[in-house]
Amino acid sequence: MTRQKKRRFEENKLRPNLVESGKDFYDEIKGKWHLKVFTDQQPIVLELGCGKGEYTLGLAQAFPNRNHIGVDIKGDRLWVGSGIALREGIQNAAFLRTQIQFLEHFFKKGEIEEIWVTFPDPRPKEKDDKRRLTAPRFLAIYQNLLKPDGWLKFKTDNTELFNYTLELINKNRISVKNLAFTHDLYNSEYVFEHYEIKTKYERKFAALGETIKYLKFQFQ
């Protein structure tokens, strides 16, 4: 581990807006985010695989009446997002360091208002399909955590991953309602739903000529 990473990890231990192993409330946060991290009991929005938290922070500023939590396993990336939130006084943004498959350890059934999956690793190898963040086992977790009529929203540049996800829905491997999607977000009727927030990866892929795919639905 580099000296810089060590310093970042030490600073993470002291940050009240970053939940990670070793902190007193790490094992007690489930159902208590409004008591342990946030100052009020606003609806909770998750961003999964948040990286440095660009989208989480953008959503938090766009929707101050919601509490936004970015989830990632990379502590040095979360150091960036949590630091920005603290410096800029974004009190409705926080971060959780864990792997996505363990989300149910930190949130109660029906505790989440909305989930964003933004530009995840596409896991292109067929043997890795169970690790895709829109694979059935992950969707089952999201369904359990979302409130009735809560939204799942998914953005990607990767055509194969997007088509894989649509195929799951079309084959009824998951039951959804109010499905809406586009293969070209910025030339579609859903363009307003990106709230002018673009991550580093999104800008990179767009510069390479990739269209941004977007879908949203509620579980049936």
Which residue among 121, 128, 149, 184 is the active-site one?
Answer: 121
* Residue 37 near residue 66, CB atoms below 8 Å: no
Q: How many CB atoms within 10 Å of residue 91? A: 16
Residue 121 a catalytic site member: yes
Cα 159 from chain centre: 19
Alpha helices (H) in the chain, listed in sequence order: 3-12, 33-36, 54-62, 75-87, 136-145, 159-170, 200-207
Gyration radius of the chain's alpha carbons? 17
Looking only at the bridges linking them, the beta strands covering 176-182 and 213-219 are antiparallel
Q: What are the residue numbers of the active site? A: 121
